[in-house]
Chains A and B, each alone.
Chain A
C-alpha cells in the first residue's frame, strides 16, 4: 500500500475506537447507488523501480536538439545549487505561510525576492509572484482598470509587438469584465510600435497601454517617449519585460521622465513579465512564475500575496503576509483577484539564482545573449535567402525572413539536430516566411557555426528540390 503506514492491527484498533466494523462503514452517508465502480481505465500501481524505468524511457523520447527557440521561454544556465536547495523538503513540502512564526524561511525568502525584483525593475513594490508572465499581464490589466480612476473607458492599448500568446491569455482572463483590448499595429521597418500609431488608436479616453521590452520580435521599443506621452494623456503604462534583460536595459521604473512636466510621473505604473529566465528550467513550459511590480500608490490594487517586514513581541525582525484585506479569503466577492497562491517554489529557485549570480552575473549573462545573437544573425544573414526583417535594434531574439517555406526550413534544421526558431507565419502572415531565432549565453560559437552550416545546407537542399521538381515539371510539360 503505497505511502500508507497502517498495520492491520492498528486499523482494527482505530475502527474499534470509532465504533464501526469496517472502513467501508465510514462511507455510509454516501448514497449506495451512486458509488464508484472499479476505475478500469487507470492502470494498476507500479513500484518506484518500474515507474522510474518508464519515465526514463519517456524522457528519452523528447528531442535533444540544440535550442535556438525563444518566444517566451529561454534556455539559460542554472547553477546546480539553485534547485538542490529549492527542493529541500523544508521548502518543497511546506505550504502557504499562514502560520508566520513557523514559516519564517519562506516569508523572508519572499521578502528578499520582492527586494531583488524591485531592484531589478526599479519599481517601488513587488508582490510574491503570479502564475506566469501571460496571466500576470492579464492581472496587470485588471489592476490598471481598478487603479486609473480618471478613466472610465476600460480600453487598453496592446501593440501587436506584444507576445501573441500573452495577448490571447489576457483576452481570456479579462473577457468577463467588459474590458476592451485594442490592437496597435507595428512599424514594418523597425519592428517596433511608433507613437504615431499609438495616437491613431487612442481616440478618446484610454485606461492603459501595454509596452513589451524587448518586444516579441526581440526589438527595443522607444519606451521613454511612449511612457511620457501616455502619462500626459492620463494613460497608465504597463511594462511587460524580460527580467534578465533588465540587468542591462533601462528598467521600467526609469522609463520616461524626460521632460520637465513628466518628471513626477516617471516610470511605468505597473511592470509584469515572466520570471523563467531567472533560474527556471524550460520544463516543457513550466512551472515558471509571473512577476508583478507597481508604483507605491497602486499597492492596494495589487493582486496576490505580499510579504512585509515587521517586528515580533520582543522587537525582533520578522516577516508576515500583509495587506491581506485585498485578498479573496477576506474580501470574497470584492477581492482584487481570485488568486490565492504564488509560484512559491519557482520563486525560491529564482531568488537563490539572483543571489548567486548577483547583478554582475546577470549583466554578463544578458550581454552574452546579446553578443551571441548578433553573431548568429550575422552568420545567418550572410547566407543567400536569409534576411533580417527589421532594421531596429534587437536584443537576443531576431526575426529572419527566409526565401523558402519556414516550416520546411525548420523541419530540415530539426533533422540536423537544430531547433531553429519559432515559425511566425500563423501569428504574423504579413511577414511571409519568417522565423524568430533566439540565442542565449549557452550557445557557443561552435553551436552557432553548426546552425549556420545547417541553414546553408537546408536552404540549398530546398532550392535543389524546387529546381528538380521544376525541372521534372518542365520535363513533363515538354
Chain B
C-alpha cells in the first residue's frame, strides 16, 4: 500500500510547520501555484508506521549476510553515524567563513592526509560525490594534464573488457574514445594486446586491481611501464581497495590517479544506493588539476578551503559545495577508530574470508571461475555446469538464496564469466556466516537436482515473488496518479 493510499483529504500532519499560511499577495498571481501539490495527507504516526514497515521489506547488512561482490558490504559502525550527526556538524552552513568551521575543516584535512598515506598518492581531493564522479574527475585530470603539455592528440582511453561499465561511460563523458583490452583466462590483462593497443593516441588506461575477476594483477609493473612509455597515464579504479589496504598501495604500483570509494573501503553506509564518495588521489604531476574544493593547513595552524585562485589549473568544481561532507565525516571517524594497524587487518581478514570461502566452495564441488590462484577479497563461482545439467540459472540460485535469508552475491558480473556469482564476504563476517552461506549454496544445488521448480519459483518467502520487468519497461508506471 502506498503512502498516498493512506491519505485522507483534510487530515493534518504534525505540528511541524507554521499553523497559519502567511499572505503571498505581494507575489504576482501568475507566478503562484494554482492548486496544491497532490502530496499525501497523513498523520505523523501513519507516516512513521508506513516507512518503518517499508524498511522491514529490505535486506540490509544490519539484518542479513550481504556478500554482494564488488560492493564491499561490511558492517557500518554506528559510531560513525552518531558522531557525524552531532549538531555542531549538522547545523554548519557550507558558506560559513573558514575560521568558524575549523572543527569540520580539520577533519577534512586529516582525511585527505590519511587517504594519501593509505594509497601512496601525493595529494587528495574529497570533492567527488560517488565512485563514478571520482572516475570522471580522474579522467578529466588525465585530459587536463595532456592538454597542459600541448599533447592534444591523445584521444583514447584503454579499458580492460572485465571493467565496470562506469569506466567506458566515464571516458566517453570526458570526450574520449574507448578501446577494450582483452583479459586472459587466468584473470590477468593480455599484455600482448595491450602493447599493440598503446600509442601516441593513448591518454591512459583504467584498471581495477585486484580486478573484477577477484585476482591481483600480477603484471602491474609491466603494464605501468607499457602505458607510461607510450606517454599515457595509469588510472586506478578503487572499487577493490579493501583487498589490499595497507598491503600494497596504488601509488607504489605506478598509478598516477585513483579514486577511492569511501562507501566501500571506509565503510560509510550504502544507504540504499547512496550517498557515496569517490575521493580522488593523484601522483605529484597531476596535483595542479585536482577538483575543488580541497582543504589546506596554513602556517598559523588554521585550515581553509582552497579556491580557484589557489589552483588555477584545477578541473573545477563537481558539486555546489564540498562533495558529501556527512559521508566524509563518517569515513573520518571510521579511519580514526581503526587506525593504521586496523586498516591492515581489513585487507588481511577480508582476504582470509574470501580464500576460506573459495577453498570451501571448491571442496563442496562448485566450479571456480579461476581455480589456480589466490582470491583477493572476492572470488567467482560459475554455475554453468548446474545450468546445463539442471536447467537452472545463476539468477535462480540468487533468488533461492533470498528465500534462505541471504542476500545474493553479484550475478552476471563480470560479463566474461557465464552464470557467475561474484562473492565478497568482507572482513566483518564471522565464520558461522560464511559456513551458513556455503551450506545454503549446497542445499540449493541439491534442490536444483531434485526439485528445480523450487528455484524457478523462488523467492517464495519475501513480500513479492519475481517481478515482471518487461511489463515495467513497456507499460511505464513511474509515479502515482490519484
Contacts and interface: CB of A to CB of B under 8 A. Distances in A.
A178 B176 CA distance: 12
Interface stretch (B35-43, B385-393, B442-450): B35-43
B322 A46 contact: no
B325 A62 contact: no
A388 B188 CA distance: 66
Nearest to A296: B476
A475 interface: no
Contacts of A267: none
Nearest to A77: B16
B349 interface: yes
Contact of B104 (A62, A323, A342): A62
Contact of A105 (B56, B83, B90, B94): B56
A83 B85 CA distance: 10
Contacts of B18: 364-365, 367-368, 441
Given A41-B113, A115-B4, A287-B324, A357 B86 contact: no
B83 A55 contact: yes
A204 interface: no
B197 interface: no
A342 B272 CA distance: 9
Interface string A60-102: 1111110101011101010101010101111111111111111
Contacts of A34: 220-221, 248, 252-253
A93 B94 contact: no
Interface in A2-28: 2-6, 10-11, 13-15, 17-20, 23, 26-28
A60 B19 contact: no
A313 B176 CA distance: 44
A328 B349 contact: no
Interface in B96-130: 96-97, 100-104, 106-107, 113-114, 116-118, 120, 129-130
Contact of A299 (B62, B324, B476): B476
A284 B126 CA distance: 13
A248 B71 CA distance: 42
Nearest to B120: A36
Contact of A306 (B23, B348, B478): B478
B184 interface: no
A419 B317 contact: no
Contact of B168 (A28, A67, A108, A332): A332
B140 interface: yes
A124 B479 CA distance: 8
B133 A283 contact: no
A355 B355 contact: no
B88 A61 contact: yes
A150 B59 CA distance: 46
Contacts of B55: 85, 88, 90-91, 105
A92 B399 CA distance: 23
B105 to A, nearest CB: 9
B192 interface: no
Contacts of A133: 320
A207 interface: no
Interface stretch (A183-191, A345-353, A379-387, A447-455): A345-353
A43 B339 contact: yes
B320 A72 contact: yes
A206 B298 CA distance: 46
A355 B51 contact: yes
B27 A441 contact: no
A250 interface: yes
A61 B105 CA distance: 10
A142 to B, nearest CB: 8
Nearest to A32: B248
A469 interface: no
Contacts of B101: 62-63, 284
Contacts of A327: 165
B466 A101 contact: yes
A305 B472 CA distance: 14
A355 B39 CA distance: 7
B459 interface: yes
Interface string B166-198: 101111111110100000000000000000000
Interface in A89-131: 89-106, 108-109, 111-112, 114-116, 118-120, 122, 124-126, 128-129, 131
A94 B272 contact: yes
A335 interface: yes
Given A90-B62, A91-B272, A334-B172, A44 B96 contact: no
A333 B342 contact: no
B427 A4 contact: yes
B187 to A, nearest CB: 10
Contacts of B300: none
A112 B182 CA distance: 43
Contact of A335 (B3, B48, B169, B215): B169
Interface stretch (A152-160, A163-171, A228-236): A163-171
B275 A352 contact: no
B81 interface: yes
Interface in B30-72: 30-34, 36-42, 44, 47-48, 50-52, 54-63, 66, 68, 71
Interface string A34-48: 111011111111111
A172 B37 contact: no
Given A51-B79, A81-B47, A334-B172, A44 B17 contact: no
A102 B402 contact: yes
Interface stretch (B225-233, B280-288, B428-436): B428-436
A120 B338 CA distance: 44
Contact of B24 (A166, A306, A346, A367): A367
B51 A109 contact: yes
B408 A99 contact: yes
Nearest to A35: B248
Given A81-B47, A338-B170, A360 B88 contact: no
A286 B88 contact: no
B291 interface: yes
B323 interface: yes
Contacts of A11: 352
A18 B123 CA distance: 38
Given A6-B349, A131-B275, A283 B42 contact: no
B451 interface: no
A287 B262 CA distance: 14
B221 A31 contact: yes
B291 A172 contact: yes
Interface string B345-385: 10011011101100110010000000001100000000000
Contacts of A111: 2, 478-480
A371 B23 contact: yes
Interface string B239-272: 0000010111100110000000000000001111
B36 to A, nearest CB: 4
B17 A364 contact: yes
A43 to B, nearest CB: 6
A99 B248 CA distance: 33
Contact of A308 (B136, B345, B478): B478
A11 B22 CA distance: 66
A35 to B, nearest CB: 6
A359 interface: yes
A285 B323 CA distance: 7
A246 interface: yes
30 contacts: A11-B352, A17-B359, A27-B248, A28-B374, A36-B247, A38-B340, A52-B79, A58-B88, A62-B88, A64-B88, A83-B85, A90-B58, A101-B463, A102-B407, A102-B459, A106-B272, A111-B478, A163-B320, A169-B320, A176-B140, A176-B176, A284-B329, A286-B327, A316-B465, A337-B173, A343-B324, A355-B42, A355-B50, A358-B12, A363-B21
**Which 4 pairs across A and B sit closest by C-beta, in order of nearness?**
A285-B321, A59-B88, A45-B339, A89-B62
Given A94-B61, A343-B274, A356-B47, 18 more contacts: A14-B431, A18-B355, A20-B355, A23-B351, A30-B244, A42-B343, A60-B103, A178-B175, A283-B326, A285-B325, A312-B464, A331-B165, A333-B178, A338-B132, A338-B136, A338-B173, A354-B39, A357-B39
